[in-house]
Structure 1
């Protein structure tokens, strides 16, 4: 049952997703003015009474990343000053998640800084999906509900033929995710070793596992330039793979990625609408996470467990 004290608001980063979430659970999207002054400063005004309400603010920190992050912080502050009882920041995509450690001298741990900013602004809880590394949950001193896109992917992937299906990770760090997919899909498991030359260029070096005459599914959490995916796909094709698909939770496709995906090395990229996607004729299939996030919001609002959302239908 929906609680009348439940209020959902959205920034400008991914308003279509917020509207779909609200439709899926039968809760109206809250009225708020979220705009900018001529000099670029963000301005927020919540146009309804939220005193004592359970407020959820939906905002992905996708490009323009800094603008969307500051917009979220200001919305949280506005809700806090309007006497909301609890404020949950809903980040379908958590930006800066890859800057989660000091891997070279004199660099920041920006994922932790963003966590501190969200808490300082007044967030009481975080709802997010497929963090780059699960340890980021420990950067927060408030509860974090971490969802996975995999149930949405599995429902779509269930239609794929299971014989000679191999799930591959495009790098060593994704092996745990690939193993989970392989286990559920009853598929083989492989790994593409890579060497990163720069932020946009990746060289795939070697394949661990058998992919000859197999349908390969690459799994990853995020892609921006598609460098890792296309380099892995080329090596898989050269090694005799019959087809190559990719399941990626967050696709933030820039011009470089679009050109790479047009090359035809990847038959299909399966992703979610955690960030706005314009397919423009690309081989990209966008699956909706609105129902998943909507159910999580309802469960948090009624203080129920979100664990049941991890169950996969049909497997």
Structure 2
């Protein structure tokens, strides 16, 4: 780790002095990221206490806003960290409390980029939850929010954008000459899964991966490949004659694949929105006599509340729901016995440091070797756990 830190923090090969600008709503994640960067810098013999640059986006009573950076950024390699999904923030608008939407967060990002334009050496954006990511393609007379957002940031001078588990990463075709990195935190998810469920066996006779739909097939295929287990898939049969809440409602989930009987099932997706799909799949696999049901979503937002998941947990339909800290998690969610938070801050810190020092990011994009090492360590821990259980 010390050698790794020296490589990433040697003063000779950095692009420019590192600066992190955390937007409102992303401070918790930004502080965790910065803590790793400061610790690694000190291990490399460099005296840094902080990389955060103070900023704000105050508003007038009419609702107009402005971006302010409170110290110099001239010559800096800036990383803006923004959580467009943080709905917990409010502002006053004509004497009324108005809740911040993804549009408000994105507008504040543009304001701060404007405040830094022409001064910074380079500007990068860390936007884990991609703004407009669910409106990435056009069927008829529809907007292309995500594609236009990327083009807008590029025109404003942003050089790189870092996101996680984009709903459809092909949207990067809108900005073919801008850096666009779509990271998948599989290693962090498996590490948390193994830690919180030490009795979990990933033998192909005891465990399998199931994709919730055809769109999530690639991410689940990767889990199945690195773990060496079977892969099943659900097909979402939709009613295309109706639109409910902006989408065609799901009529049924049809299962394709090997038997799940007696096996622990793990499902990975990019987002849990209402959560209806996850609960339908949990009920389906339990009806097929699956053992335990685990699900992971990079963005666990639960737009329709948590009560249905509480009931499903009490009924034994779900055994664990995993979600990352890449977007806002309500306090009551963090306290639920069925929810397990995956910390991805260290992964972001590695990526920021690698970009800032112009070193290869290939190992960060494909953590296959780290997962293999984790599985070997896991095998030893399981053997030790089995011995302890026998001794009891």
- Tell me if the contact between 1:194 and 1:203 (Cα under 8 Å) persists in the aligned partners: yes
In structure 2, the partner of 1:242 is 291
Distance 2:235 2:294 in 1: 18
In structure 2, the partner of 1:40 is 63
The offset of 1:95, in angstroms, is 2.4
State the secondary structure of the residue aligned to 1:49: coil
- Tell me if the contact between 1:271 and 1:284 (Cα under 8 Å) persists in the aligned partners: yes
In structure 1, the partner of 2:323 is 271
Distance 1:134 1:258 in 2: 29
The offset of 1:92, in angstroms, is 1.4
Distance 1:47 1:302 in 2: 25
Distance 1:128 1:252 in 2: 17
In structure 1, the partner of 2:384 is none
- Tell me if the contact between 1:192 and 1:204 (Cα under 8 Å) persists in the aligned partners: no
Distance 1:202 1:286 in 2: 28
* Residue among 335, 340, 343 paired with 1:288: 343
Q: Residues 96-155 of structure 1, C-alpha deviation per residue, up to 9 Å, x if partnerless?
A: 1121212x3211222111112222333121111111122122222311122211121122
2:350 corresponds to 1:298: no
- Most deviating of 173-182 and 155-164: 155-164
2:152 corresponds to 1:120: no
Distance 1:246 1:230 in 2: 10
| Root-mean-square deviation (Å) | 1.9
- Most deviating of 196-205 and 229-238: 196-205
State the secondary structure of the residue aligned to 1:211: coil
> Unpaired runs of 5+ in structure 1?
none
State the secondary structure of the residue aligned to 1:60: coil
The offset of 1:196, in angstroms, is 4.0
- Divergent runs of 4+, >6 A: none
* Residue among 209, 212, 219 paired with 2:261: 212
* Correspondence list, 1:83-94, <5 A: 83-94=119-130
More strand by share: 1
In structure 2, the partner of 1:260 is 308
- Tell me if the contact between 2:297 and 2:323 (Cα under 8 Å) persists in the aligned partners: yes
In structure 1, the partner of 2:385 is none
- Tell me if the contact between 1:99 and 1:109 (Cα under 8 Å) persists in the aligned partners: yes
* Residue among 157, 178, 185 paired with 1:149: 185
- Tell me if the contact between 1:8 and 1:30 (Cα under 8 Å) persists in the aligned partners: yes
- Most deviating of 222-231 and 156-165: 156-165
Distance 1:98 1:53, change over 3 A: same
2:82 corresponds to 1:59: yes
2:202 corresponds to 1:162: yes
State the secondary structure of the residue aligned to 2:294: strand
> Unpaired runs of 5+ in structure 2?
1-8, 39-49, 88-100, 376-392
- Most deviating of 139-148 and 170-179: 139-148
- Tell me if the contact between 2:130 and 2:166 (Cα under 8 Å) persists in the aligned partners: yes
In structure 1, the partner of 2:17 is 5
Distance 1:87 1:172 in 2: 35
More helix by share: 2
Distance 1:43 1:192, change over 3 A: same
In structure 1, the partner of 2:31 is 19
Distance 1:280 1:28 in 2: 28
The offset of 1:305, in angstroms, is 1.4
Q: TM-score, normalised by structure 1?
A: 0.93
| The structure with more radius of gyration | 2
The offset of 1:257, in angstroms, is 4.2
